[in-house]
A and B are shown apart, each in its own frame.
Chain A
Amino acid sequence: MVTRDNGHYFDLMPSRLSWYLLPSLADCSLLRGEARSTAGLLRFTGGSVELEEIGDTAVLETWRTLFENAGLLVGIRAISHYAQDFFDRLGSRPSGGAFLTPPTASPDTVVSPGVEAAVVSVTTEELQVITPPAASATPLTEPAAPDAPVSEVASRIAALSDLGDKRLADLFKVERETFCRWRTGALTNPRVGNRRRLGLLLSLLDELAGRQANIKDWLLNSVTRQGLTPYELLEQGRIDDVAFLAASIGEGVSVDRDPRVAAGAESETLEFDNDDAWEYEYEDDEQ
């Protein structure tokens, strides 16, 4: 296990991934093969773990169910698309702990994908040991700071949009791996244009979130007058068109109003200097 300098990220050797992924406590398991193919990055944030690979919503929900049933790990936000293969092979999504099996093998047992469940064994205490201090990332309900690091901006974009790395990467004309590295902090210096575009997209998504839109659904499924979805408009670089469309979404959360305006009470009249006065001439003045 390698600890990054900032202490918030852990590169886990694939063979060790599952070891730390789930609490043992007699009721959790994970296919070793799946663990190997899952991304090698985990982010520990307080009591939660985020797998630093993006997946689609269905997979996300599957894993959330699994981890919530485990009773310890929450806040799963993004996972590998490989996970979908895993669940596809098993034929159905887990529910109610269907995949939770008692320990039957050592954590180092290698099991071929789709054959058997390998036992994961890690205790709550062990997990606590490797949990770093809580991350300082801004909550999604608050706007990111103007000088927020690229990893925070990219992570917020991923979280707000619920789009996969590939889809987001396509908007920026970069490889999926590149966007993933922005998100995880492995790459901190996008080109100037993409740094600017990250800020633009985040502003747009923040507004959509404020309007309580189902952002992913809106981006991918609503059809505009141009016959394109907002995502397709974004792919073409037409973000101002999308911003226009976003303004037409329902009111969303209440908007802060100046209380004086809301109450109809005007501010006290301001007194201007003499450069404010107009000079009038009347008949008598002219004579």
Chain B
Amino acid sequence: MEFPAEPYQYRRDDPFAGPDRPVSQGDVFIDIPLVGPALRDPKQAGTWRAPKVKIGPKALGLFITHPCASRSRDTYELTEFVSIARVVKCPDRWGPPWDGYYSYVPLPSLRDGQNYVAKLDEVCSVPTEALVGQRIACLNEHGLEALFHRLAMNALRFPETPTHYKTEAQRLTYEINLWERWAAHYSTEGGFQDWLDEPFEGQPREDADGNVIDGSQQPTGTTRREVLVWNYDELGDELTAKLAKD
């Protein structure tokens, strides 16, 4: 699939991008502790040496774990450690349309107008507390869809781009969009997921001229979470109404 020219929802050269947005898959961080691969010590047989922890303005990383795997199922708080793919400047020889090299995720014009890549073959575990205040970019739904494709190609050489990537990227983006509004209003991420699990009030019907018929929505027995992709706009209206009340 084609890699989007503008894959970012937020992007800044320096932290902090999207201060109210919950941390999620596709976020890029700077100045975070990255751990590299151990090598045999050439001077001490049978001994392995880890490199120095990389930190500072050259220590960039892309959050690659799906939220379902990086947040508690009970509290929805981030797990203690998350998987981060190291991000480095893109070699000059590679650029749009970003063909091949499936172990790299292009991050065009990520910082100071320069292209970067996330290296899916260099993933390390990073404490979530180190991510606080360090985000410089969040992928939008198109960027996420492209990330899913890269992850599948790198891990499985799975060549299809099923609709699932698109709907999952939308679902994730929409959820975080609403969550961000919640966090901005209440100054906490807490409570949003419970609201998302409440019953959806229903999509209002329209008359033959396309006008919404007030009060015509009927619950279908689904939760807001189940209709997040299809009824994102109506959920946004429900959230607006709730925030206006509280």
Contacts and interface: CB of A to CB of B under 8 A. Distances in A.
Interface of A: 173-175, 177-178, 187, 189-194, 196-197, 200, 203-204, 206-207, 234-241, 243-244, 246-247, 255-258, 260-261, 267, 270-273, 275-276, 278-284
Among B42, B171, B231, the most chain A Cβ lie within 10 Å of the Cβ of B231
Interface string B155-172: 001011011101110110
25 contacts: A173-B203, A174-B206, A178-B207, A178-B208, A189-B210, A190-B210, A191-B212, A204-B163, A206-B163, A236-B221, A237-B222, A238-B227, A239-B167, A239-B229, A239-B230, A261-B102, A267-B101, A273-B89, A276-B89, A278-B52, A279-B52, A280-B39, A280-B50, A281-B52, A283-B44
Contacts of A190: 210
Most buried by A among B52, B171, B216, B233: B233
A280 B159 contact: no
A187 B210 contact: yes
Interface of B: 36-37, 39, 41-44, 49-52, 54, 58, 88-89, 91, 93-94, 99-102, 104, 153, 157, 159-160, 162-164, 166-168, 170-171, 200, 203-210, 212, 216, 220-222, 226-234
A276 B122 CA distance: 10
Nearest to A194: B206
Contacts of A191: 206, 210, 212, 233
Q: Output the residue of A200, A270, A272 with the most chain B CB within 10 A.
A: A270
Contacts of B91: 270-273
Nearest to B217: A173
Given A236-B220, A260-B100, A278-B37, A175 B233 contact: no
A247 B162 contact: yes
Contacts of B162: 207, 243, 246-247
Contacts of B101: 267, 270
| Majority secondary structure of chain B interface residues (helix, strand, loop or mixed) | loop
A238 B200 CA distance: 12
A11 B164 CA distance: 40
Nearest to B168: A240
A18 to B, nearest CB: 27
Given A178-B210, A275-B88, A283-B44, A236 B222 contact: yes
Q: Which 3 A-B pairs have the closest CB atoms?
A: A193-B233, A237-B227, A278-B51
B159 A243 contact: no
A240 B208 contact: no
A107 B210 CA distance: 37
Contacts of A243: 162-164, 166-167
A261 B101 CA distance: 10
Nearest to A193: B233
B205 A273 contact: no
Contacts of A173: 203-206, 216
A246 B160 CA distance: 13
A175 B206 contact: yes
B205 A240 contact: no
Contacts of B206: 173-175, 178, 191, 194
A15 to B, nearest CB: 25
A136 B233 CA distance: 31
A276 B100 CA distance: 20
Contact of A174 (B51, B166, B200, B210): B210
A164 to B, nearest CB: 16
A270 B166 CA distance: 29
Contacts of B210: 174, 178, 187, 189-191
